[in-house]
Chains A and B, each alone.
Chain A
Amino acid sequence: EAGVTQSPTHLIKTRGQQATLRCSPISGHTSVYWYQQALGLGLQFLLWYDEGEERNRGNFPPRFSGRQFPNYSSELNVNALELEDSALYLCASSLELAADNEQFFGPGTRLTVL
């Protein structure tokens, strides 16, 4: 069974540009989560999508947005990039909504903003 995949592996942008990160969940998983992991910090929750709808959002500005497609893959968009957006962006998927669902993480996209 293929795991969660993310693309690209690395992404280098300059301040003010836009970045698009992509995620394909495990087959059969309908929930997709996005996290930001900056150097030395824990995973910070960004967004949660389930069945194509945004279910929850972390404490991030509106320039962080995303969507989930009918095939449950997802895209994270970061507009007006700032230097502090440099981080590892992790996508995770899980089965439909449940209180203690195990999350399966992808390898991440390393975003560097210059």
Chain B
Amino acid sequence: SQKIEQNSEALNIQEGKTATLTCNYTNYSPAYLQWYRQDPGRGPVFLLLIRENEKEKRKERLKVTFDTTLKQSLFHITASQPADSATYLCALGGGGGSYIPTFGRGTSLIVHP
């Protein structure tokens, strides 16, 4: 069955450093991958989408890579700030004709001042 893995342990980093979060998947050939941010008690907020034929995408301090051979996406936040502290979810979709994205459990990022 399809499986999406995100590190369940929180990532703690110092302000100003680059945070790197990982999303691995198996038994899936997605057409796209999305990253969302979720704050406690709130709904996820869309950040970036990258398609299967794209290697990298950037948006301000955010960078996403997508390696369909390794079945992995990396999500980078450069010059991290305490306000970046949140849970980050990856979601895969479009594979096998399915339009509904499948979400990972998310990784908590804590940026210390």
Contacts and interface: CB of A to CB of B under 8 A. Distances in A.
B32 interface: yes
A105 interface: yes
A80 B93 CA distance: 32
Contact of A105 (B44, B51, B104, B106): B44
A1 to B, nearest CB: 15
Contact of B94 (A40, A42, A100): A100
Task: Report the contact-size class of chain B (Cβ under 8 Å from the partner).
Answer: 20 to 34
Interface string A101-114: 11111111010000
Contacts of B45: 105
Contacts, number: 58
Contacts of A90: 43-44
B51 A43 contact: no
A21 interface: no
Given A100-B31, A108-B42, A45 B102 contact: yes
B103 interface: yes
Interface centre among B44, B89, B91, B106 (most CB of A within 10 A): B44
A101 B43 CA distance: 17
B100 A100 contact: no
A98 B34 CA distance: 14
B99 A92 contact: no
Given A42-B106, A45-B100, A99 B42 contact: no
Interface centre among B45, B99, B101, B103 (most CB of A within 10 A): B99
B49 interface: yes
A104 B46 CA distance: 7
Contact of A107 (B34, B43, B89): B43
5 contacts: A35-B103, A41-B105, A99-B32, A99-B93, A103-B46
Interface of A: 4, 33, 35, 40-43, 45, 48, 56, 58, 88, 90, 92, 97-108, 110
Nearest 9 interchain pairs by C-beta? A105-B43, A42-B105, A43-B103, A100-B32, A99-B94, A102-B46, A42-B103, A105-B44, A90-B43
